Amino acid sequence: MKKVFENFFAEIYDISDEIPHTVFAYWKGFLTLENQDAVDACQFSLDYFKEAGIKVMISDHVHLEGATVEFLDWLHAYYFPTCVANGLLSEIVLESAHDIGNITLDLMYDKEDLQKYLKANTLYTPKVKGLDKAKQLARAIVEEAYQTNCANG
């Protein structure tokens, strides 16, 4: 596990040595577009997906306190479509320890909102309980993507 980014809002670790093409991210605090560090954390992850060939991000939201509506709109309009464009297949979601954080997650990963912005290529965003289950799912997604790529030449 190698730390590739850290600021007040996120810590991102490349765990490709354990699960190929996978990162683990802690998302923290209350996210607003006015706070450049929150935007920078998201932008770093987008750039890293593309540069490092990342296919899966396990996102731990235990310390997420929430986000503004504007930030959620920005995620749906820009962040999630750019995740897909940069090669991410799945963001596996671990819950927040805060009630408002979990409400934010319900809004952030609302399937109907996501589908407004993501066309044929969709981002698979399952919510799971526990890191072990998240890692098992990440492995399965990466293996399936590898098999699909091999089958397609």
pLDDT of residue 68: 93
Considering the entire predicted model, what is its pTM? 0.85
Q: Bridge partners of 92?
A: 58
| Residue 114 structure tokens | 């996501």
pLDDT one-digit tens code per residue, 46-95: 999 999 999 999 999 888 888 999 999 999 889 999 999 999 999 998 87
Q: How far is the C-alpha of 94 from the C-alpha of 121, rounded, in Å?
A: 23
Q: How far is the C-alpha of 39 from the C-alpha of 92, rounded, in Å?
A: 20
pLDDT of residue 114: 46
Domains of the chain plus CATH, in order, are 2-151 (3.30.750.24)
Q: How far is the C-alpha of 22 from the C-alpha of 145, rounded, in Å?
A: 12
Helix (H, G, I), strand (E, B) or coil at 27: strand
Dihedral sign for Cα atoms in the order 115, 125, 123, 2:
positive
pLDDT for 148 beyond 70: no
- Quickly state the pLDDT bin for 150 (edges 50, 70, 90): low
pLDDT one-digit tens code per residue, 6-50: 999 999 999 999 999 999 999 999 999 999 999 999 999 999 999
pLDDT of residue 13: 98
CA atoms within 13 A on the CB side of 99: 0
pLDDT one-digit tens code per residue, 110-140: 555 444 444 445 788 888 888 999 999 999 9
- Which residues are CB-neighbours of 88 under 8 A, at least 6 positions away? 49, 54, 55, 56, 57, 123
- For residue 88, the Cα-to-chain-centroid distance in whole angstroms is 8
Contact between 9 and 37 (Cβ < 8 Å): yes
pLDDT one-digit tens code per residue, 96-106: 677 777 777 77
